[in-house]
Structure 1
Amino acid sequence: MSSSNQTHDHAAIKKWAEERGGVPVKIKNTGDESDEGVLRIHFPEHSDKDDQFEEISWDDFFDNFERNKLDFLFQDEKADGEQSTFHKFVQR
């Protein structure tokens, strides 16, 4: 059985993402000068390199993450034991 975890610990989020080849991104054309826009963690190895994403720094990612008081909901493993990339952002 798979289970989800929730955190707002920056080091834990970054570690989880990097272990899976994930990079911090924003969805293009969703922000402005004061807001990065819609955040995602993108897994280039598992996608068709969609041009809707713009890679951003972890610092910019976490600034926006904190400003919007988000938590990171994630799964370590799928039900079959395979490493999971499931995640989403939720309000704290």
Structure 2
Amino acid sequence: MGSHCKTTRDHDEIREWVTTHQGVPARVRDIRSVGGTGLLRIDFSGRTADECLEHISWDEWFRNFERAELALVYEATKSDAGRTFAKVVPAPDF
């Protein structure tokens, strides 16, 4: 059985998928500027954030998601290897 990827900007769809897969909204800290938004990520590690990755609220995550006009590409079905895949990308024109 192969994997099938979807792309979405829908906040409810993203939150539901991430929560179902035990993910947490996070960002990579922007070390170049104080107060920078950093790169948005989904943390599936199950650990607390380290010094490079910090967990943030859904409100903050989606605020930055909209500001940067991003989309989430994710696997609608798990790959044969059982891994979870999601990537934040520039939003295509829908």
Does the alignment reach a TM-score above 0.5? yes
Match of 1:36 in 2: 37
* 3-state SS in 2 of match to 1:64: helix
In the TM superposition, residue 22 of structure 1 has moved relative to its aligned partner by 0.6
Aligned AA for 1:91? P
Match of 1:21 in 2: 22
Q: Which runs of 5+ in 2 are unaligned?
A: none
Query: Which stretch shifts more, 59-68 or 24-33?
Result: 24-33
- Scaled by the length of structure 2, what TM-score is found? 0.79
* 3-state SS in 1 of match to 2:62: helix
Runs of 4+ deviating beyond 6 Å: none
In the TM superposition, residue 80 of structure 1 has moved relative to its aligned partner by 2.6
In the TM superposition, residue 79 of structure 1 has moved relative to its aligned partner by 3.6
In the TM superposition, residue 91 of structure 1 has moved relative to its aligned partner by 1.3
Q: CA RMSD in A?
A: 2.1
Instruction: Report the number of matched residues.
Output: 88
Cα separation, partners in 2 of 1:73 and 1:32, compared to 1, 3 Å: farther
Cα separation, partners in 2 of 1:11 and 1:75, compared to 1, 3 Å: same
In the TM superposition, residue 50 of structure 1 has moved relative to its aligned partner by 5.9
Match of 1:77 in 2: 77
Q: Which runs of 5+ in 1 are unaligned?
A: none
* 3-state SS in 1 of match to 2:61: helix
Asked if 2 retains the 8 angstrom alpha-carbon contact of 1:36 and 1:61, the reply is: no
Q: Distance in 1 between matches of 2:17 and 2:58?
A: 13
CA deviation map 1:29-65 (0-9, x unaligned): 34643x42101000133xx656121111100000000
